[in-house]
Amino acid sequence: MSKQFDLVIKNGVVVTSGDVGPLDIAIKDGKIAHLAASIPEDAAERAIDAEGAYVMPGGVDAHVHLAQDFTSGPGGVTGKCADDFMTGSRSAICGGTTTIIAFAQQNRWEESLLDVVTAYDRGASETGCFSDYAYHIIITRPDVEMLKRELPVLVNEWGITSCKLFMTYTAMQLRDNELLDVMYEARKLAVTTMIHAENGDLIAWLTGECGPPKSIHLELIHTAEKLEEKGLIEPRYHAESRPPIVEMEATHRAIVLAEMIQNPILFVHVGSASAAAVIRKSQTRGFPVYAETCPQYLHLTWEDLKRFHSPQCFENSKMICSPPPGPDDSDQEALWTGLRNGTFTIFSSDHCPFRYDDIRGKALGVLQHAPSMEGSTCPIDQDHVHDIVHGKTGHFKYIPNGCPGIETRMPLLFNYGVMEGRITPERYVELTSTAPAKLYGLYPKKGALMPGLSDADLVIWYPDGRMTPFSLTNDRLHHNVDYTPYEGMSFTNWPRYTILRGKVVWAEGQLLGTPQDGEYLKRKTSQLTTAAVRSIADDKRRVATWLYK
């Protein structure tokens, strides 16, 4: 006779975003079925003894790039993500993440968002996915008629209820009027608008890409000395071309635009204390601004761009991401505070995987830079990329921006946040699982442990002192990237079990899942951003109050 439950997790300390307590959890047909002080072992086909360790909802990583060609270079130079849905999601579950939301990116030459999503979806179906998955849409060509036609289809048929907009990168940057066009259409459908906030014009100017001003007084104008003119182009100058004020200005501007038309927005990958302060101020005024930060901003600084061999070494390109982390660790402290005090709603990986030793990865920083390639006798192909790159400095502007981190996100915040007492276990669950599920319309199926309603997605940690501490090396990870920015960092805990809809997919260092396990998630609209915008909605000095009359 079949038993009442499929699986019971015994002797754990269950943590949700609101509660912590010693409870057993029973699972039936992939759902959380029952929580109680004690559930008999023989009520289930199988039992796992959590031995007093934390048991939490599986991680929801709402910011990952998989199978994406990223047109972030000048003139559309394109890096290729090293992970597809199969390898990226494999890495996710080995680090305690059971749901991912990946980007489907529109290129400027592509008219239809529906075609873009269809193509990404075909890719995901072909490789399969170890975790459950969903998509955000990146909009780079905001034709209003197309938005009016296609956004409703994305929302209603695909369950894609969030879009990302860029304020930088020549091939992706939207001007203010274009940002407004999308925000206006997004607001009508409650599509969550995610903003990459960096002032692209400032970056181009500091780099030296803008010509001199076309003025009759040209000869009187002192030509500013830009990074390129000074020859400051090695990887570490990527950060110098984007001082934190670049992010701060764009953050402020996006808030002004959003506030004027009363569209809630979310800032992705916030890296600086100054941008966080602008966000906090707006939240205090009562305007719904949400924010995300990521591990690289808690653990890296500009110093990491000089980490390898010498400050000039091209290998430092491994640490390039946008926005860059702060110049020193003072930004890190401010971001930890923001994680505690609610400035940040979610904590995501921004897994943006480019291999170092790859003609479509970081090596583009040399391969696209003509002076670095002068005199090179090697053919440009994958077999020779290492020889070509070796000893060159390249140019930062051609290096694809992004770092891998889908597998390390949950362990880093657990070890350096919960175990070091910076955040509570409940706040940990809120940031890594519950809030992203609510923000992106997946709650309570994901991010919760509600009997009958929530999928049985769980992460179970080791009991205190049980796991042998280790220093991280890239060969422990399951992504398809040839490095990790967190090489050498110490870990005293790591997910012991990951469970996806009742199936144990990762256990004590063994990958048990398959690429057939993951299911596509049609999302609802946000359960956070739909909260009414009340506090300043009638203030004619800030808001175009007539717009929606």
Write down the least CB distance from residue 189 to ligand DUC, Å.
22
Q: How far apart are CB 323 and ligand DUC at their closest, in Å?
A: 8
Say which residue the tokens 């090489």 belong to: 487
342-362 in b/e form (b: 16+ CB < 10 A) is: ebbbbbbbbbbbbbbebbbbb
The reply to whether 269 sits near ligand DUC by the rule CB under 6 A is yes
User: In terms of CB distance, is 269 or 299 closer to ligand DUC?
Assistant: 269
Are 77 and 362 in contact, with CB atoms under 8 Å apart?
no
Q: How far is the CB of 181 from ligand DUC (least distance, A)?
A: 21
- In whole angstroms, the minimum distance from the beta carbon of 270 to ligand DUC comes to 11
Local structure of 173: helix, strand or coil: strand
Position with the least CB separation from Zn ion = 196
Told to check if 350 binds ligand DUC by CB under 6 A, we report: yes
State residue 283 phi and psi, 5-degree precision.
-60, -40
Min dist CB 308 to ligand DUC, Å, is 20
Burial class (CB in 10 A: 0-12, 13-18, 19+), 76: middle
Q: Which is nearer to ligand DUC, 58 or 402 (CB)?
A: 402
Residue 242 interacts with Zn ion (CB under 5 A): yes or no = no
Q: How far is the CB of 199 from Zn ion (least distance, A)?
A: 13
Is 196 or 369 the residue whose CB approaches Zn ion more closely? 196
Quote the least distance from Cβ 268 to ligand DUC, whole Å. Answer: 6
196 binds Zn ion (CB under 5 A): yes
Query: Given the rule CB under 5 A, which of 184-192, 286-294, 349-357, 503-511 is the region that contacts Zn ion?
Result: 349-357
196 is an interface residue for ligand DUC by CB under 6 A: yes
What does the alpha-carbon distance between residue 192 and residue 218 come to, in Å, rounded to a whole number?
Answer: 45
Question: Angle CA(80)–CA(82)–CA(88) in degrees, nearest 5?
Answer: 130
Non-local (6+) Cβ contacts of 458 within 8 A are: 9, 25, 55, 56, 57, 58, 98, 449, 497, 498, 499
Q: Which of residues 377-416 bind ligand DUC (CB under 6 A)?
A: 401-402
For ligand DUC, the closer of residues 268 and 319 by Cβ is 268
Q: Which residues of 230-264 are buried (b: 16+ CB within 10 A; e: fewer)?
A: eebbbbbbbbbbbbbebbbbbbbbbbebbbebbbb
CB 59 within 8 Å of CB 130: no
* Spatial distance between the Cα atoms of 459 and 174, rounded to a whole number of angstroms: 39
Query: Rounded to the nearest whole angstrom, what is the least distance from the CB of residue 251 to ligand DUC in the complex?
Result: 14
**Nearest distance from C-beta of residue 269 to Zn ion, angstroms:** 6
Name which of 401 and 529 has its Cβ closer to ligand DUC: 401
The nearer residue to ligand DUC, 167 or 423, going by C-beta atoms, is 167
Q: Rounded to the nearest whole angstrom, what is the least distance from the CB of residue 294 to ligand DUC in the complex?
A: 9
Q: Where are the alpha helices (DSSP H) in 4-112?
A: 85-94
Question: Strands 97-105 and 59-64: what pairing?
Answer: parallel
Q: Which is nearer to ligand DUC, 64 or 191 (CB)?
A: 64
* Structure tokens, 497: 């079990």
Of positions 55, 206, 248, 352, contacts ligand DUC by CB under 6 A: 352
β-pairing, 31-36 with 59-64? unpaired
Give the x-and-dash track for 430-469 against ligand DUC (CB under 6 A): ----------------------------------------
- Of residues 288 and 404, the one with the C-beta less far from ligand DUC: 404
The number of beta carbons lying within 10 Å of the beta carbon of residue 337 is 15
CA–CA distances in Å: residue 85 to residues 127, 362, 517: 6, 20, 12
Q: Which two tokens stand for residue 386?
A: 């290492």
Q: Residue 70 or residue 308: which is nearer to ligand DUC going by CB?
A: 70
Element (H, E) at 33: strand 31-36
Q: How far is the CB of 53 from Zn ion (least distance, A)?
A: 31
Q: How far is the CB of 175 from ligand DUC (least distance, A)?
A: 18
> By CB under 6 A, what part of segment 476-505 binds ligand DUC?
none
* 346/343 Cα distance (integer angstroms): 9
Question: Of 72 and 498, which CB lies nearer to ligand DUC in the complex structure?
Answer: 72
Binders of ligand DUC among residues 505 to 544 (CB under 6 A) are none
Q: Does 348 bind ligand DUC (CB under 6 A)?
A: no
For residues 200 and 264, which CB has a smaller minimum distance to ligand DUC in the complex? 200
Nearer to ligand DUC, 91 or 262 (CB): 91
Segment 287 to 346, residues that bind ligand DUC, using CB under 6 A: 321-322
Nearest to 105 by CA among 169, 172, 184, 168: 172
6, 350, 358, 455: which one contacts Zn ion (CB under 5 A)?
350
User: Does residue 292 interact with Zn ion by CB under 5 A?
Assistant: no
Is it true that the peptide bond before 400 is cis, omega within 30 degrees of 0? no
- Are 308 and 318 contacting, i.e. CB atoms less than 8 angstroms apart? yes
Residues in contact with ligand DUC by CB under 6 A are: 72, 196, 268-269, 321-322, 350, 352, 401-402
Residues in contact with Zn ion by CB under 5 A are: 196, 350
